[in-house]
Amino acid sequence: MESKKTKILPWPGLFLIYSIVFLILLFSYRILFVYTYRYRLPEDYFFPLLKAFGAGLRFDLSITFIVLFPFMLLSSIVFLNRFSLYRFLWSTFPAFLLWGAFIHLLADIEYYENANKHLGYEAFIFLGKDIWLLILSVTESKPFISLLFILFSIIYFISILKIFQKLSTALNYRKSKKEIGIFLLIVIPLSVLCIRGGTQTSFIRPSFSIVSDNTFINHIGLNGIFTTFYDFRTESIPNYHRMKLLESYEWVKKEIDYGGAKFISPAYPILRKTIVQKKFEKSPNIILVLLESWPAKYIQVEEGSGFIDGKEVCPEFNQIIKKGRYFKNFFATGGRTSNGLMATLTGLPDSPGLSSLHTQKAMSRFLGLGAVMQLAGYETMFLTGSNLGFENLGVHVKRWGFQEVLDERDIQKLNLYKAGIWGYHDADLYDLVLKKIEKRNSAKPLFSTVLTISTHYPFRSPDEKLDIFGSKVRDHDFLNVLHYADWAIGDFIRKAEKMGRLNDTIFIFLADHTHHRYLNYFEDRNIPFLIYAPSVLEPGLETKIGNQLDVIPTILGLAGLEVVFSALGKDLLYPNTASSAYFAFGNLFGWIEKDLFFAQNISENDKGISFPFTPLSGEPKDLCSKEILRCKEYQYKSRAFLNLTEELLKKNIVAP
Would residue 616 count as lying in a domain?
A: no
Give residue 7's pLDDT.
Answer: 44
Give residue 227's pLDDT.
Answer: 87
User: Residue 505: in which H helix or E strand, if any?
Assistant: strand 505-511
Are residue 215 and residue 122 in the same domain, yes or no?
yes
Are residue 193 and residue 340 in the same domain, yes or no?
no
Give residue 134's pLDDT.
Answer: 63
Are residue 63 and residue 125 in the same domain, yes or no?
yes
According to DSSP, residue 210 is labeled: -
Would residue 244 count as lying in a domain?
A: no
Give residue 9's pLDDT.
Answer: 44
Are residue 61 and residue 140 in the same domain, yes or no?
yes
Distance separating alpha carbons of residues 266 and 262, to the nearest angstrom = 12
Residue 415: partners with Cβ closer than 8 Å, 6 or more residues away: none
For 152-270, list the strands marked E by DSSP.
171-172, 261-263
Boundaries of domain holding 401: 285-572
Are residue 15 and residue 131 in the same domain, yes or no?
yes
CA angle 613, 618, 623 (to 5 degrees): 60
Distance separating alpha carbons of residues 444 and 442, to the nearest angstrom = 5
- Final residue in a domain of this structure, among 231, 260, 276: 231
Number of helical H runs and strand E runs in the chain? 20, 21
- pLDDT average, residue stretch 561-567: 97
Are residue 223 and residue 342 in the same domain, yes or no?
no
Are residue 320 and residue 191 in the same domain, yes or no?
no
| Residue 277 neighbours by CB distance under 10 Å | 13
Total domains in the fold of the chain: 2
Q: Among 17-21, 259-263, 521-525, where is mean pLDDT lowest?
A: 521-525
Give residue 354's pLDDT.
Answer: 75
Would residue 67 count as lying in a domain?
A: yes
Are residue 200 and residue 297 in the same domain, yes or no?
no
Tell whether omega for the bond before 284 is within 30 degrees of 0, i.e. cis.
Answer: no
Question: Between residues 509 and 141, which one has the greater pLDDT?
Answer: 509
pLDDT one-digit tens code per residue, 89-145: 888 889 999 999 998 998 899 888 877 788 876 666 665 555 666 666 667 666 777
Distance separating alpha carbons of residues 592 and 419, to the nearest angstrom = 39
Q: With beta carbons less than 8 A apart as the criterion, state whether 631 and 607 touch.
A: yes
Closest by alpha carbon to 204, among 361, 311, 55? 55
Are residue 15 and residue 86 in the same domain, yes or no?
yes
**Confidence band for 71, pLDDT divided at 50, 70 and 90:** very high
The CATH number covering residue 475 comes to 3.40.720.10
Mean confidence (pLDDT) of the chain: 88
Give residue 8's pLDDT.
Answer: 39
According to DSSP, residue 526 is labeled: B
Q: With beta carbons less than 8 A apart as the criterion, state whether 625 and 611 touch.
A: no
Are residue 304 and residue 194 in the same domain, yes or no?
no
Mapping DSSP onto H, E and C, the string for 582-628 reads EEEECCEEEEEECCEEEEEECCCCCCCEEEECCCCCCCCECHHHCCH
- pLDDT average, residue stretch 549-560: 97
- pLDDT average, residue stretch 330-342: 94
Give residue 643's pLDDT.
Answer: 95
Would residue 605 count as lying in a domain?
A: no
Would residue 267 count as lying in a domain?
A: no
Are residue 54 and residue 186 in the same domain, yes or no?
yes
Closest by alpha carbon to 16, among 28, 27, 24, 26? 24
Sign of dihedral through CA atoms 617, 313, 430, 114?
negative
Would residue 619 count as lying in a domain?
A: no
- Final residue in a domain of this structure, among 572, 596, 624: 572
Residue 494: partners with Cβ closer than 8 Å, 6 or more residues away: none
Would residue 452 count as lying in a domain?
A: yes
Are residue 361 and residue 482 in the same domain, yes or no?
yes
Question: Between residues 296 and 125, which one has the greater pLDDT?
Answer: 296
